[in-house]
Amino acid sequence: MTASTLRLDKWLWFARFVKSRADAQKLIERGQVTLNDAVVQKTSTAVRPGDTVVIVIAHFRHVVKVEALGTRRGPAPESQTLYCTLQAPERLGFEEAALPLRVPGLRRPF
């Protein structure tokens, strides 16, 4: 990977679409992330400025264009500069919706 590319799982985390890189890995493994009209198979897939990313999280489909790569997971205003929203988040029907990464109300065992 060069300085002009970044791992997709890191970018999803930097852009605050997921809470952890492990969650980004789950999204990618489930086939919920598309990069330039191709379903991503590996978390190490390189993303670069100008790429189009489609992310399905729970009942929403986000279509964004990568504007910058970022160097850290900063505050929300900083992370929003990493992408440009191409479409408003689209609400999906029951059949198209993805499984949530975390089940609300479910806590860790004691």
Number of folded domains in the chain? 1
Q: Is residue 99 part of a domain?
A: no
The tens digit of pLDDT for each residue in 9-43 reads 999 999 999 999 999 999 999 899 999 999 999 99
List the structure tokens of 61: 């489909």
Q: Is residue 51 part of a domain?
A: yes
Is pLDDT of 106 > 60? no
Q: In this structure, what CATH number is given to the domain that contains residue 66?
A: 3.10.290.10
Q: Is residue 84 part of a domain?
A: yes
Burial 71-81 (b: 16+ CB within 10 A, else e): eeeeeeeebee
**Closest alpha carbon to 44 in 29, 56, 32:** 29
Q: Where are the alpha helices (DSSP H) in 3-108?
A: 8-14, 21-29, 76-79
Q: Which domain holds residue 32?
A: 6-91
Q: Is residue 101 part of a domain?
A: no
The tens digit of pLDDT for each residue in 49-96 reads 999 999 998 888 999 999 999 999 999 999 999 999 999 888 887 666
Q: Is residue 23 part of a domain?
A: yes
Identify whether the C-beta of residue 68 lies closer than 8 Å to the C-beta of residue 49.
yes
Q: Is residue 97 part of a domain?
A: no
Q: Is residue 104 part of a domain?
A: no
Report the C-alpha gap between 103 and 44 in whole angstroms: 26
List the structure tokens of 3: 């300085």
Q: Is residue 106 part of a domain?
A: no
